[in-house]
Structure 1
Amino acid sequence: MRITSLQPGEIFVFGSNANGHHGAGAAAQAQRDFGAVWGEGHGLHGESYAIDTMSGLDVMGREIDTFVEFAETRPDLTFLVTEIGCGIAGYTPADVAPLFPRVPLNVRLPESFVRELDPRR
């Protein structure tokens, strides 16, 4: 599902590089449509949340852990996670989904990640 607009309280979660150069894909959309800031490759900006997906799976895993901890502190927001890492970064949902071993109720994972985490779906 491609996210083209947000409801109040929704946050677009996208893959970035560490330098926050949002030149293509979901990162460019985040900057264009949802308040991502050029030069900011981590965290909440406007109606978007950047996760570094270009510095390796270990870094991405730590970034996801930080994101999940942040989402837990913001139950007033709903976080719509795109297929982070599955575009320019070159990973597959099978690579990235296990980096989300738990998510709070206010985090919505893409269907491809949900299928990897629960093949019965």
Structure 2
Amino acid sequence: MEITPHDVHDLAPDEIFVFGSNASGQHGGGAARTAYRRFGAVWGEGHGHHGQTYAIDTMSGLDVLAEEARTFIDYAREHPALRFLLTPVGCGIAGYTPAQVGPLFAGIPANVTVPSVFVPFLAT
């Protein structure tokens, strides 16, 4: 399991920055702001792959976040040529803990790096 760097400043052409968003895609703070300013996130798009980013709605409740995580895992499996850098989605502005969010990403494919704070909560 590869660990996502704490700070991501640049991406290779095949890399995708995975960040937490709100459903309306208002990327004003945290990793969402970085995604918008640096990596091609689209203002008004709070879900899915845009530019070199993948948005996960973390602000609409834990059940929605769980569904978004499953959708992301399926997407990453369907795109093995891409390398996804998963940030600690949901653990900033959304206010969840790694213990709440990390298990939602159990079974993540090998082409996804994970934040170190999620590692203890991922089933091997």
1:8 alignment partner in structure 2: 13
1:28 alignment partner in structure 2: 33
Q: Give the partner amino acid of 2:75.
A: F
Q: So what's the TM-score if we normalise by structure 1?
A: 0.94
Question: How many angstroms apart in 2 are the aligned matches of 1:83 and 1:98?
Answer: 12
1:67 aligns with 2:67: no
The CA deviation string for residues 45-91 of structure 1, in whole angstroms up to 9 with x for no partner, is: 00000000000110000001000101111001000000100110001
Unaligned runs of 5+ in 1: none
Alpha carbon RMSD of aligned pairs, Å?
Answer: 0.9
Unaligned runs of 5+ in 2: 1-5
Equivalences, count: 118
Structure possessing the higher relative contact order (Cα contacts under 8 Å, 6 or more residues apart): 2
Which structure 2 residues correspond to residues 1-121 of structure 1 after superposition, within 5 A? 1-117=6-122
Percent of aligned pairs with the same amino acid: 61
- Give the Å deviation of 1:103: 0.7
Deviates more, 1:106-115 or 1:24-33: 106-115
Question: How many angstroms apart in 1 are the aligned matches of 2:71 and 2:85?
Answer: 16
Moved over 6 A (4+): none
Q: Are the equivalent residues in 1 in contact too, given 2:107–2:122 (CA < 8 A)?
A: no
Question: How many angstroms apart in 1 are the aligned matches of 2:21 and 2:102?
Answer: 17
